[in-house]
Amino acid sequence: MFEFFKSINVDWMGMRRPLTMVSIAILLAGLGSAVGRQLMPGGTDSFNLGVDFQGGTVITAKFRQKPPEDDIRAALQAQGVADAVIQSSLDKPDEVLIKVPLFESGEAAAAPANTGNTNQSSNSQPAAQSNSNTNANTSGQPGATTAQSVDESQVNKGREIVKKSLDTFGKEAEGTNTLVDDESAAYKIVGTDSVGPVAGAQLRNQAITATLLGLAVILFFIAFRYDWTYAAGAVIAVFHDVLVTLAFFSIFQWEISLTVMAALLTLVGFSVNDSIVIFDRIRENLGLHRGESLYNLTNDSINQTMSRTIVTNGLVLLAVAALVLFGGEVLRGFSLALFVGSITGTYSTIAIASPIAIWWQEKLGAAKVKEPQVAKSEKIASASRRSVTRRPVTR
């Protein structure tokens, strides 16, 4: 039998104070970064939110002969886009990500004429302006009077403006043509993400609501299966993990997109999973060693499951490391979030979830500590009873 840990005996709970300090330090650094960036005049935002959450346009363009980034930036500036972000793809040298921020409503009106309707484009712009200050009674067609909203101009114009800028480097392979089909073309837009501010806010709110509700459900389920103190410990640990990950995203200004949201949800899953494995062992040990203090029981439980913790989380971490290194540009944010999250998820179970659970229980007084709940199902109940009576102490 090959094993990493045969029997370890570490006083984890004795280290809770220094460990908590580490967490607090990271969280403070994240908070400092978020607040500092916000307050600094002309500084960046707290978080580098992707277009998914704040609106904007990202164009992925594939070039036959990639022009220097500065030239692309200059071409965009000529079209009135001052603060575009140009990002070369690391793994695909001929592709460029161009991120155009949200237009202000004023800017949108001043921006070059839109494509509009086939036959209406020539007068749509003046019509929209003149109608807005004429009496409603003289209005013509449905909607023709409504001023163009920011959403619409963003979504319609983002791609168009980038295309216009890029056209200075040669023409695009349009429609279904690829660069191979159309030999005279210089580039092709292979991907667009254009999100208006309303849709962005909607996506953001939806993601936050869903995550918080999900956490609430976890809280109730753990409280039902274990105890409120454990539930609180697990959920606080999850919050800790998400916050630490976000702290890294703020400090290093990694972009937060919808896929990063998926990664945060994944790490919530892993973190809770980890907490439950240890809680389950504490619950079992509570039945086995009635006289033992909770402090020692928690230490024992962590030590007993350490082998599993190392194997599982080590495997996950290595798999995620593969994603970070080889997963490509599209998955970069996702992989980074998972990488940070899988480390803190393991750590928080030991340093946050368990200490909170036992601290709270000790507060309640040893006498009030709940008996381990015997599971409802007959099969599970008999299994745990047997291990209570027959299983020798494994320490």
Partner 1 sequence: MKNTGLWIRTAIIIVITLIGIYLVFGPRTRPTSADFTWSGIKKNLSNNINLGLDLRGGSHLVMRVKTEGYLKNLTDLNQQAAVTAANDAKLPVTGTDVAEPDKYEITLTVADPAQVDAVVAEVKGKVDFTLWTETKSGNTVNWSLPAQQQAVLKEQAVEQALKIIDSRINAYGVKEPTLARHGRPANGQILLQMPGVDDPERVKKLIGSESKLSLMKISGESFQAYPTKEAAEQSLGGSVPSNKRVMAYSEKDDSATAATPAPEKPKQWVVVDYPAIIEGSELRDASAYSRTGNNNDYQITFNLKPAGAAKFGDWTGKNIGKYLAIVLNDEVKSAPVIKGQIFDTGQIEGKFTKNSAEDLALTLKSGALPAELEYQEERTVGPSLGADSIEAGVEASLGGLIFVIAFMLFYYRGAGINAVIALVLNMLLTIAALIMIKSTLTLPGIAGLILGIGMAVDSNVLIFERMREELRAGKDVPSAIKLGFDRAFITIIDTHITTILSSLILYLYGSGPIRGFAVTLILGLLINLFSAVFVSRTIFTWQLERKPNMKTLSI
Sign of CA dihedral 280, 286, 292, 293: positive
- Tell me which stretch binds partner 1 (CB under 8 A): 152-160, 246-254, 286-294, 357-365: 152-160
The amino acid present at 21, given as its one-letter code, is M
Residue whose C-alpha is closest to residue 87's, from 96, 74, 95: 96
Of 31 and 321, CB closest to partner 1: 321
Is residue 175 close enough to count as binding partner 1 by CB under 8 A?
yes
Closer to partner 1 by Cβ: residue 19 or 235: 235
Contacts of 112 (CB under 8 A, 6+ apart): 79, 80, 157, 160, 161, 164
The interface with partner 1 within residues 369-388 (CB under 8 A) comprises 375, 379-380, 383-384, 386-387
Q: Do the bridges between strand 85-88 and strand 56-63 make them parallel or antiparallel, or are there none, so unpaired?
A: unpaired
Instruction: Tell the smallest beta-carbon distance from residue 123 to partner 1 (Å).
Output: 6
Stretch that binds partner 1, among 16-24, 74-82, 151-159, 288-296 (CB under 8 A): 151-159
Backbone torsions φ then ψ of 136, nearest 5 degrees: -60, -30
Nearest-angstrom CA–CA distance, 394 and 45: 53
Distance of CA 67 to the CA centre of its chain: 32
Out of 10, 78, 82, 113, which residue is the one contacting partner 1 (CB under 8 A)?
A: 113
Distance CA 221, CA 231 (A): 8
Which position among 29, 280, 289, 362 is part of the footprint of partner 1 (CB under 8 A)? 280
Contact status: 143 vs partner 1 (CB under 8 A): yes
Residue 263 interacting with partner 1 (CB under 8 A): yes
Min dist CB 42 to partner 1, Å, is 30
Judged by beta carbon, residue 58 or residue 75, the one nearer partner 1 is 58
Applying CB under 8 A, does 392 fall inside the site for partner 1?
A: yes
Query: Contacts with partner 1 in 324-343 (CB under 8 A)?
Result: 326-328, 330-331, 334
Chosen residue from 33, 250, 301, 305 binding partner 1 by CB under 8 A = 305
Q: Toward partner 1, which CB reaches closer, 337 or 356?
A: 337
User: How many CA atoms lie within 13 Å of 307's alpha carbon, on the beta-carbon side?
Assistant: 8
User: Residue 205 is which amino acid?
Assistant: N
Contact residue for partner 1 among 165, 194, 245, 285 (CB under 8 A):
194
78 binds partner 1 (CB under 8 A): no
Q: Is 199 in the site for partner 1 (CB under 8 A)?
A: yes
Among 48, 79, 250, 266, binds partner 1 (CB under 8 A): 266
Show the site string, 243-262: x = touches partner 1 by CB under 8 A, - = not.
---------------xx-xx
Closer residue to partner 1, CB minimum distance, 186 or 316: 316
Other C-beta atoms lying within 10 Å of the C-beta of residue 268: 21
Residues contacting 125, CB < 8 A, separation 6+: 113, 114, 116
Q: Report which of 304, 298, 306, 318 is spatially closest to residue 346, judged by C-alpha positions.
A: 306
Contact between 178 and partner 1 by CB under 8 A: the answer reads yes
- Tell which positions 7-36 bind partner 1, by CB under 8 A: none
According to CB under 8 A, which one of 9, 65, 119, 133 is a site residue for partner 1?
119
Nearest to 286 by CA among 271, 295, 272, 297: 297
Q: Where are the beta strands (DSSP E) in 246-391?
A: 255-256
